[in-house]
Chain A
Amino acid sequence: MSQTVITLENIHKSFADVKAVNGVSFSVPESICFGLLGPNGAGKTTLLKMLYGVCIPDPRPVGTISVFGFDPRKNDLAIKFISGVVPQEDNLDEELNVRQNLNVYARFYNIPRQQASRRINDLLNFMELSDKHTDNIRHLSGGMKRRLIIARALLNNPRLLILDEPTTGLDPQVRHLIWEKLRGLKREGMTIILTTHYMEEAFQICDRVLIMDKGKCVIEGNPQKLVADTIEPFVLEIYSKEAFSAVKSSLPSHCTTIDESAGRVRVYSCDEAGLKDITRMLKPGTYFIRQSNLEDLFLKTTGSMLNEQQ
């Protein structure tokens, strides 16, 4: 049986008058990739920071938090020694070059000089940055900076990797490269916890996801299974509300959910043929039929979706 790396129970956190985290509990077993999803301000980053002691949960109501059996409020250095952290913002030392940035951190972990040099070579190779090792940070693209920060987090061979929006703002090639690397690390036994806004990212690399909204857990589970269990498999997207009102009365009779948001109507149904029937009444180019995905689940669970049974 696999062991549990992270356990949170009834964690609360308030900032001034904002309740950022409101009674969250979850646990992460060893060697999986766990994703925290949620809209901005859902409390994802706050939770990640709690894991390594940079954010302290409210003392009341009493909650427990444990990473590798350590309480981050007491043993933050022990946790940080065996974990790697990739923060949301790029925070490399701009004055130093690629290799020097890693060297500075190797000293924080007290890695002997020669060993650090070998480790840095391996990591630059792994992150495909070897030919950039003497480059100035200012000359790196956003994707290269991100990969370098991941390399920095891996310096001490961590058993847990904590990533806050690892691929936000990056182009598709770099995102796929980073996903591939993270999958590789997971295969080697590393436990990964990340936050993301990208449903595709969660689908691609997460074994489990937890969707949060307004500081609370909304739903948790395997992403593929959640979509299959929670939401109708097909979606008809109609691009204007006017077009929708024309077909509203002809919708399939059972198992249909409608979401109207941001000027667009999504009709969810188990009945693909029924949805296709409706499209005959719509002008070409005003609709699109697709399979439902994690994004739909996300919209549904975080409350932007109306739940009307017809």
Chain B
Amino acid sequence: MNNSNVPSYPPFIVRVSGVWLRHFNVYSKSLFSNSLPPFLEPLIFLAGIGLGMAGYLPKMAGMPYLTFLATGLPLTAAMFVAASECSYGTFIRLEFDKVYDAMLAAPLSVYDVLIGEITWAATIGMFFSLVVVVVVACFGLVPMPASLLTIVPGFLTGMMFAVASLLVTSFVPNINQFNFYFTAFLSPMFFFCGVVFPIENLPHALRIAAEIFPLTHVVRLARCFDVLTLSPVVLWDLFYIIAFTIIIGWIAINRLRAKLIQ
């Protein structure tokens, strides 16, 4: 049978948003257990370190220490939530629940499925950065309403850590190996990318190294938004974020494609 007319399957945006909505439906089913850790962790850290030590610490980067910390923590929340969604979450969907196999039987391509995945991770990154901002704002730690702009770097954080985590997922044969990723890659970023202290305080070599890590750029971007000043370095940050997402995302999607399409 030769059909000259290709059936009008849904356009790209409908396909990606279908995937996004699937994740939204499933995630919101267990919203409480999903959202408690990423919501509480930064607050516990803020209470433990911030309240206990803030009095001994000078101003950092021109702001009180607690404010300094509170402007960075929304992004580490976004980082961890997006990273776990696209590492443990993706691995389970890929290997155990066969969710992607099911989706690929519908009129969706691997690109639709994975771009939907990245968009979803960016969304929850944005959501949790907002939640943390709102809570720390209640304690008067961050300037409002300027800090609400943190949702932009929050979204970008989710996006970058989604693609990075998908790349890691394309390599790991066993779900337990994500522990290495979290311990060796994400935890150092928490400390050395300008969340806990300014990267200017790092020794010169590490100062350069910090520029290589994705978290540094979104943290700097967020602080600029918080104080509503734009410095030229923001252009470098934006360039990094876009380049990182496109390059790492492209490699990750193509590596996972090789796993999904035999």
Is A41 on the interface with B (CB-CB < 8 A)?
no
A195 to chain B, nearest CB (A): 15
**Residues of A that sit less than 8 Å from B by CB:** 3-5, 15, 30, 46, 49, 52-56, 68-70, 75-78, 80-82, 85, 87, 89, 91-96, 100, 103-105, 107-110, 153
* B6/A78 in contact, CB under 8 A: yes
* B3/A69 in contact, CB under 8 A: yes
Interface centre among B17, B30, B99, B104 (most CB of A within 10 A): B104
Query: In the assembly, what is the distance between CA of A70 and CA of B260, in Å?
Result: 21
* B10/A96 in contact, CB under 8 A: no
1/0 per position for B1-28, CB-CB distance to A under 8 A?
A: 1110011111000110110011001100
Chain B binding surface, main DSSP class: loop
* B25/A81 in contact, CB under 8 A: no
Q: Which of B6, B9, B30, B99 contacts A91 (CB 8 A)?
A: B99
* A76/B109 in contact, CB under 8 A: yes
Query: In the assembly, what is the distance between CA of A3 and CA of B1, in Å?
Result: 6
Chain A residues near B109 (CB, 8 Å)? 76-77
* A94/B101 in contact, CB under 8 A: no
Q: Which of A56, A76, A91 contacts B97 (CB 8 A)?
A: A91
Chain A residues near B101 (CB, 8 Å)? 54, 87, 89, 91
CB nearest to B8 among chain A residues: A81
Given contacts A69-B1, A80-B106, A96-B29, 6 further A-B contacts (CB under 8 A): A78-B107, A91-B101, A93-B26, A93-B97, A95-B30, A107-B21
B107 to chain A, nearest CB (A): 4
Query: In the assembly, what is the distance between CA of A153 and CA of B107, in Å?
Result: 11
Chain A residues near B30 (CB, 8 Å)? 95
* A94/B97 in contact, CB under 8 A: yes
Q: Which of A3, A54, A68, A96 contacts B25 (CB 8 A)?
A: A96
1/0 per position for B107-141, CB-CB distance to A under 8 A?
A: 11100000000000000000000000000000000
Chain B residues near A52 (CB, 8 Å)? 105
